[in-house]
């Protein structure tokens, strides 16, 4: 196996109020689907707080960073930069090359000698219009279909392709709570003891729902 590499998601641009819910969901999706870290613009403190709160309750490891220098992060990133855009190359055409470059291609990993060293990966998703320089700097401009949709949908599909579904089996550490998968119901247990919170189960699941939605003040649509 190669040494660990980091998958970092960068939310490029944020309009406070209008983008709160989308930015929060970019962070939650990055966390849930296998990234190590999300970087938000420094005016997205409310979204950062929500994602940190979910991580505290439902586990990690996962880091949230607030940074004001997004152009510099992209310019100076040491590793592979993927920019998700509807104008990009089809994800199904480039996913294997990207997986290989970050050491996630199982065929290459098992090849041992001769396999290139894994690199960190920066996945950039936009909000409002992103600068042309980002298209030029990116090692890959990748489209999840060449149809307009959302940064959350694009990120989710891209990460699942990147990890080939392995992220769905992830174990979480330092969680207070764990959701029990079931056909019907909303059961949450104490992660440490696995003791069912019988009386509180519906309330706890409801709290998580509320927190996730807390960035949505329905202040207008995109």
Ligand X SMILES: C[S@@+](CC[C@H](N)C(=O)[O-])C[C@H]1O[C@@H](n2cnc3c(N)ncnc32)[C@H](O)[C@@H]1O
Of 44 and 130, CB closest to ligand X: 130
Is 147 a residue that touches ligand X (CB under 6 A)? yes
Q: Which stretch binds ligand X (CB under 6 A): 40-48, 55-63, 138-146, 193-201?
A: 138-146
Of 105 and 151, CB closest to ligand X: 151
Q: How many residues does the chain have?
A: 222
Give the nearest distance from C-beta 183 to ligand X in angstroms. Answer: 33
**To which H or E segment does residue 187 belong?**
strand 187-190
Give, in order, the Cα–Cα distances in Å from 27 to each of 3, 181, 199: 25, 22, 30
Residue 127 near residue 22 (C-beta atoms within 8 A): yes
Q: Mark 149-168 with x for binding to ligand X (rule: CB under 6 A) and - for no binding.
A: xxx--x--------------
Q: Are strands 121-126 and 140-143 parallel, antiparallel or unpaired?
A: unpaired
Dist. CA 217–CA 65, nearest whole Å: 23
Is 148 a residue that touches ligand X (CB under 6 A)? yes
Of 83 and 177, CB closest to ligand X: 83
Query: Which residues ranging from 59 to 98 are in contact with ligand X (CB under 6 A)?
Result: 84-86
DSSP string for 12-32: E---TTTTHHHHHHHHHHHHH
Give the nearest distance from C-beta 150 to ligand X in angstroms. Answer: 5
Query: Which residues ranging from 98 to 127 are in contact with ligand X (CB under 6 A)?
Result: 125-127
Of 75 and 90, CB closest to ligand X: 90
Radius of gyration of the chain (CA): 18
Of 101 and 141, CB closest to ligand X: 141
Give, in order, the Cα–Cα distances in Å from 145 to each of 35, 86, 116, 123, 125: 22, 7, 29, 17, 15
Cis peptide before 172 (omega within 30 of 0): no
What is the binding site for ligand X (CB under 6 A)?
A: 84-86, 125-127, 129-130, 143-145, 147-151, 154, 222
Binding-site sequence positions for S-adenosyl-L-methionine: 84, 126-130
């Amino acid at each position: 196996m190669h040494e660990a590499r980091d998958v970092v998601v960068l939310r490029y641009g944020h309009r406070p109020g209008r983008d709160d819910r989308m930015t929060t969901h970019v962070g939650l999706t990055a966390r849930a689907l296998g990234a190590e870290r999300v970087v938000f613009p420094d005016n997205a403190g409310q979204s950062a707080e929500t994602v940190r709160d979910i991580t505290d309750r439902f586990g990690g490891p996962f880091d949230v960073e607030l940074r004001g220098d997004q152009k510099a992060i992209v310019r100076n990133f040491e590793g592979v930069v993927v920019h998700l855009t509807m104008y990009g190359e089809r994800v199904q055409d480039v996913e294997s090359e990207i997986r290989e470059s970050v050491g996630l291609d199982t065929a290459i990993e098992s090849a041992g000698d001769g396999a290139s060293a894994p690199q960190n990966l920066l996945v950039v998703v936009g909000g409002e219009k992103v600068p042309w320089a980002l298209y030029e700097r990116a090692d890959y401009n990748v489209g999840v279909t060449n149809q307009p949709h959302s940064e959350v949908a694009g990120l989710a599909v891209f990460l699942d392709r990147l990890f080939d579904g392995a992220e769905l089996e992830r174990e979480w550490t330092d969680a207070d709570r764990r959701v029990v998968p079931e056909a019907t119901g909303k059961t949450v247990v104490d992660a440490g003891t696995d003791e069912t919170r019988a009386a509180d189960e519906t309330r706890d699941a409801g709290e998580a729902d509320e927190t996730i939605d807390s960035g949505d003040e329905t202040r207008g649509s995109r």
